[in-house]
Amino acid sequence: MKAILNISAYKFVTLTDFAALRPILLERATKLQLKGTILLAEEGINLFLAGSDTGVREFFAQLQTDQRFADLVPKESWSSHQPFKKIRAKLKTEIIRMNHPTIRPEAGRAPAVDAQTVKRWLDQGTDDFGRPVVTLDTRNAFEVAHGTFRGAIHWGISKFSDFPKALLEHKSELQGKTVVSFCTGGIRCEKAAILMRDAGLQDVYQLEGGILKYFEDAGAAHYQGDCFVFDERFTLDADLAAKKV
């Protein structure tokens, strides 16, 4: 029986009080016996939590009473064991580090495309205007090795802060194509898509909700392998079932 509810969620929203939020959220998660990680920065929140169904949902309901997080939608999966060892709340300069401070998703995100649309584009090989479609994996090389979309472009980066340099080196490969950037849950491809559009690539989209949302809505179509996740489950298959590697 899979009794542990796992959630991940993020939002780019200005948090001038992010340091003050840390002890509040840490205490709340501790009381509800949750484990995982909460990342807080001036640019927003990024969290990965696991615990009982009741505990996780209570934490999230309380979080959403803050109007800044009212529209936060978690991605859910289930496991038979607790995948985290403890609860941590950390203060960061960025909730996902790119080292590119001009990229501010809160100020305006790149257009997003949902899983079913991406599946349809990949089925037909073109977007709705007849342009060739490519998928761009914005994750690190070791994550890509566990699974990715068939034919996806990736640049073998070892950390996300390497992405801006890799884009400069490979931008010409993407000219004239419709580019769908993707990552595990959406946070990295959101920043990546903005950077690419700022660099002059016009037809760039982010996969809404990342691979995990794609699995939920479109299954394994056009995807090969599993999806690496940053906890002790290690990978999830297209049914969002956990595997060890």
- Catalytic residue ranges: 183
SS3 call for 57:
helix
Which amino acid makes up residue 202? Q
Number of Cβ atoms within 10 Å of the Cβ of 125: 9
Residues 76 and 1: their CA atoms lie apart, in Å, by 16
Which amino acid makes up residue 119? K
**Do 84 and 35 touch, CB atoms closer than 8 A?**
yes
Q: Spell out the residues 6+ positions from residue 17 whose beta carbon is closer than 8 angstroms to its own.
A: none
Torsion of the alpha carbons at 108, 114, 119 and 125, rounded to the nearest 10? -30
Residues 17 and 32: their CA atoms lie apart, in Å, by 23
Which helix (H) or strand (E) element contains residue 224? strand 223-225
